[in-house]
Amino acid sequence: MVQGAARRAIFPIDQKWEFKQANDEGGRFLPVAQFPTNIHLDLMQHGIIEDPFVGKNEDKVQWVGEKAWVYRTTFPTPLGLNTAIKAVLAFDGLDTYATVNLNGKTILMTENMFVPERVDVTEILEPRNGENTLEITFESAFEIGKRFQERHPEHIWGCWNGDPSRCAVRKAQYHYVRGGIGGQCS
C-alpha cells in the first residue's frame, strides 16, 4: 500500500436487477438473469424475443434497439459508512446514452460507452444501512444517432456498414443496437 493512500472497500451491485421498456406505464419489471447484462439477453431469457444470432431472427428484433430501456436495483448502504468516508459509485460499462438516478436524484448522464464513470454519492445514500434505489435508463443509441445526423446535414456521413447515423455515436459498432450494463457496477 502506498503511504498516505486511502483504504477502500468494494461492494458489488450485481444482485436483484430488473428491467422493463421505459415509458411503458403498464409494463412490469422483469428480473435480470445475469450481470453484467444487455437488453437482448434479458428479453431472450423471458421468451420475448428469439435469439437474434439464429437464422433471420435479427430482422425480427430490430425494434429492440429503437426503444429506451430501464434497469433498476436496490442495495443497502454499507455498514459503517459515515461522513468521514467517501462513497463512490463506479460504472465500468454503461452502453451508451444512460441516465443514472440514485434515490430519485440524477447523478450521471453518459454519452460514450468507452468511458468508465465514477460518482461521489456520499450525500445521496440512505443513512445507516438504509435501502437505496439505483435506476439506469438507456436511451436508444440508434434514435439519438438519427437525430444527430438530421441536425448536421452539412456533414457527409460516410458509412458502408449499416445506417450512417452510427458514425455519430460513441458506441461499439459490433453490437450497435444493443444497450445495457456491459461492465461491473460497484
pLDDT digits (tens, 9 = 90+) for 122-132: 999 998 778 99
| Measured CA distances, 98 to 1, 19, 27, 31, 125 (Å) | 35, 14, 20, 20, 20
User: How far is 170 from 96, CA to CA, in rounded Å?
Assistant: 7
Domain boundaries, the chain: 18-140
Sheet holding 97-102, edge to edge: 30-31, 18-21, 69-76, 131-138, 97-102, 105-111
Mean pLDDT of the 3-8 span: 60
Selected from 3.30.1490.390, 3.40.50.300, 2.60.120.260, 1.10.10.10, the CATH number assigned to the domain covering 18-140 reads 2.60.120.260
Predicted TM-score of the model (pTM): 0.85
Per-residue model confidence as pLDDT tens digits over 34-75:
989 999 999 999 999 999 989 999 889 989 989 999 999 999
- Does residue 103 register a pLDDT over 60? yes
**Cβ proximity of 111 and 100 under 8 Å:** no
Mean pLDDT of the 137-142 span: 90
Residues of 155-180 as b/e, b for ≥16 C-beta within 10 angstroms? eeeeeeeeebbbbbbebeeeebbbbb
